[in-house]
Amino acid sequence: MIHVFMLVVVFGTGDARKEQPNPMHFYSVNRCLYFAENIVKQYGNYRYNHYIDAKDRVTAYCKPVYVDPKSIKPEIYK
């Protein structure tokens, strides 16, 4: 078992909230945060979130997880 960082992407808010079903795994938290930051950026500025429909809002974060290296291949995302 090894520790990796899982990129969690959530689309929408409230009742429209839906988690992306195929998370990506990274050895490096910095690499994971790079993708989390840029995924959220592409969906606009949340300073004006009242202009963005709830179903179109995106949240992304990195979660440390303990996984079996045979079940995933985090080296793909180094």
| Per-10-residue mean pLDDT, the chain, length 78 | 90 77 88 91 64 77 89 59
Contact between 58 and 38 (Cβ < 8 Å): no
Domain that holds residue 39: 2-73
Say if 48 falls within a structural domain. Answer: yes
39 lies in a domain? yes
Q: Are residues 5 and 50 in contact, defined by beta-carbon separation less than 8 angstroms? A: no
pLDDT of residue 49: 63
pLDDT attached to residue 8? 93
pLDDT at position 74, please? 57
- Check residue 33 and give its pLDDT: 94
Number of domains present in the structure of the chain: 1
Q: Which 8-state DSSP code applies to residue 5?
A: E
Phi, psi of 38 (to 5 degrees): -75, -30
CA atoms within 13 A on the CB side of 63: 12
pLDDT score for 1: 85
User: Domain for residue 78, yes or no?
Assistant: no
30 within a domain of the structure (yes/no): yes
